Structure 1
Amino acid sequence: MQRRQFVAAGLTLACAAPLTASAQDFPDKPIKIYQGFAAGGNADTIARVVSAEMTKGLGQPFVVEAQTGAGGTIAAATVARARPDGYTLLLATGGHAVAGALYNKLNYQTVSDFQMISTVTFFPFLLVVRADSPYRSLGELLAAARGDARSVSYGSAGIGSTHHLAGELLVKSAKVEMLHVPYRGDAASVTALLGGEVPMIIAPPTAVMPNIKAGKLRALATTGAQRWSAMPELPTVVEQGVAGYDVRSWAGFMAPAGTPRPIVERLRTETLKALQVPAVRARLEDMGGEARGSTPEEMTTMVSAELKRWTAVVNDSHIPRQ
């Protein structure tokens, strides 16, 4: 019995040795980052901007690859199944928790199959109307919805998007009824708003700021807990009478579960260093975000809370699971 225990322990140490050695030498080859949305979009840009700076400290290049489709779940599944050696990462967004709430049959667990590294950025959504809209505030729009729910609708980037769930949470929190009108992406929802198909849309700043600056659209509110630094005059949803409302999307780095802690800490250290570089912070701010890192534990807690919240919204709003 003792001999068998000794042999088993030896095999365990032997299996662990390659990862231990790789942690000491990490990194000695390029690191791949998967993201689940279109090349050139927000997630892709965030991954490239931050990783380009991380390359300087790690001494190895990053390769960013888009695996689009199914709300980012294809890219997430790729990373969940990858070898936990630090060379395959996921640039996850707020949609990662939304997908966990919305999809019935994911071939990975939203939290437990990943080792969180650090958040990178947080950004609010904006509630936007046309410049000639009769609604001058969110309060006026909600009052109209209370008077006649059929008169007020809102557009989003699609069923099950974070934008959609943010709208359903607003409806629930404000105790009103509004019709959700899904479009195929932010560009389509902006076009619909400009064309008068819907009176309001919920969208990220990057999707609407050009038309706001051009005087074609007007923002009624920001969805974050605090006012957005780029538009400090714009009140939050909470400031307009909807208590407790706070919706911000985010982006952050994840690795497969089981990635050695020394590798996780090395990646986290370089992420935090990159987020302190003025050019990186400025680029993230230009995209509507706030550069903010975290510990792995803080990120795990945040993603777990997001999953719980969006699962409740999906259930309460009777949104069909995919």
Structure 2
Amino acid sequence: MRGMKRLAAAIFLLSGCLATTLAAADNYPSRPIRLVHGFAAGGAADALSRIIADGLSKKLGQPIIVEAKPGAGGNIAADAIAKAAPDGYTIGLVTGAHAISAATYKSLAYQPAESFEMISTLVYYALVIAVRNDYPAKSLGDLITIAKEKPGALSFGSVGFGSTHHLAGELLNAAAGVEIVHVPYRGDSQSITALLGGEVPIIVGTPVLLAPQIQSGAIRGLAVTSPTRTALLPDVPTVQEAGIKGYDVRTWAGLLAPKGTPPAIMATLNAATLEVLRDPEIKQRLETAVGGEVRGSSPAEMKALIETEIVKWTGVVERAKLPKI
């Protein structure tokens, strides 16, 4: 009899918790939502976060407060998101670096795919391999020829170790059979300054930041890393056009939430995000911010993307024999 009473009490408590959860989901959102990202204010991730926050705020009827937690390639922010209450009031924006972290770090306090509920991808964008305008290489083919003649003598700058920019260069090394040494900088602006100042002859950078320098003639874009040319730099050929078949590096940005966020809330966030991405004004703002292509997804598609990218970049890191952090 006593056991039956305990069972009844447990069932009562469980049903009460379930009712509370369902009620919370039905009323969602009833207060401001925090959107966390892991990069410096004023950068691409920050710009994307503020644009999507603006759209979601109007759609959901609550303020979306953007919070930057920069450091460790986005890992500090990802850890904070993973440990937040799974109630839909903390969401995060992550980039391609989220999957790369699994390949470049010895250990993480969270699992990039399993510690989160995915909402949707937002945008994909290519990178640009560029040199100063007075550099001898007039094409990527020329650069590869020079690199083969001088193994280890050339260097390329990027926004930092373990970034998509860095691994795009390492993948080029492997695909073209060359050895161009990586030099990390703290952001695109520093790497562009280093290129213009002659510290490095090559950089891998973000199209939207390199486009003005390319259009002014100060920098020459040798190739974009996507399979097709980018609308922002239509005259810059792709790496594949230079004869390196199968080369494809596109970084991306997407939204996620802590593991265990109720399915009803996740469905609300996914539907609202996809609706925002269909808004012509928001779409144009997002694409202009990074020189990329807006593309939403289902939660399952975003999780599959992250899992695929982890495998891809782990292979690149292992082939390049890069030391893990």
The CA distance in 1 between the partners of 2:89 and 2:54, in whole Å, is 15
- Greater shift, 152-161 or 61-70, is seen at 152-161
1:291 paired residue number: 294
Q: Is structure 2 residue 104 aligned with structure 1 residue 102?
A: yes
Q: Is the 8 A contact 1:35 1:91 kept in 2?
A: yes
Q: Which SS does the other structure have where 2:252 is aligned? A: strand
- Greater shift, 276-285 or 6-15, is seen at 6-15
1:208 paired residue number: 210
Give identity over the alignment, percent: 48
Per-residue displacement from partner, 1:35-86 (whole Å, max 9, x unpaired)? 1111121111111111211112211110000111111111111110111111
Q: Would you say how many aligned residue pairs link Structure 1 and Structure 2?
A: 322
1:316 paired residue number: 319
The CA distance in 2 between the partners of 1:53 and 1:182, in whole Å, is 34
- Greater shift, 134-143 or 144-153, is seen at 144-153
Q: Is the 8 A contact 1:97 1:306 kept in 2?
A: yes
- Greater shift, 280-289 or 90-99, is seen at 280-289
Q: Is the 8 A contact 1:141 1:152 kept in 2?
A: no
The CA distance in 2 between the partners of 1:170 and 1:73, in whole Å, is 25
1:138 paired residue number: 140
Q: Is the 8 A contact 1:27 1:60 kept in 2?
A: yes
- Match of 1:317, as an amino acid? A
The CA distance in 2 between the partners of 1:107 and 1:20, in whole Å, is 30
Mind listing any 5+ residue stretches in structure 2 that lack a counterpart?
A: none
Q: Is the 8 A contact 2:97 2:162 kept in 1?
A: no
The partner residue of 1:149 within 141, 148, 151 is 151
- Match of 1:319, as an amino acid? L
CA drift of 1:280 comes to 1.3
The CA distance in 2 between the partners of 1:240 and 1:135, in whole Å, is 13
- Match of 1:156, as an amino acid? S
RMSD of equivalent CA atoms:
1.5
1:35 paired residue number: 37
The CA distance in 2 between the partners of 1:2 and 1:238, in whole Å, is 69
TM-score (norm 2): 0.94
**Counterparts in 2 of 1:200 and 1:3: CA distance versus 1, 3 Å:** same
Per-residue displacement from partner, 1:8-37 (whole Å, max 9, x unpaired)? 444333333322111111100000000111
The CA distance in 1 between the partners of 2:99 and 2:152, in whole Å, is 31
Per-residue displacement from partner, 1:187-223 (whole Å, max 9, x unpaired)? 1111111112222100111331221122100101110
CA drift of 1:6 comes to 4.8
Q: Which SS does the other structure have where 1:180 is aligned? A: strand
**Counterparts in 2 of 1:231 and 1:206: CA distance versus 1, 3 Å:** closer
Q: Is the 8 A contact 2:121 2:295 kept in 1?
A: yes
The partner residue of 1:242 within 224, 241, 244 is 244
Mind listing any 5+ residue stretches in structure 1 that lack a counterpart?
A: none
Q: Which SS does the other structure have where 1:112 is aligned? A: coil
Per-residue displacement from partner, 1:226-262 (whole Å, max 9, x unpaired)? 2112222221111211111111111110001111122
Q: Which SS does the other structure have where 2:160 is aligned? A: coil
CA drift of 1:179 comes to 1.4
CA drift of 1:137 comes to 1.0
The partner residue of 2:65 within 56, 63, 66 is 63
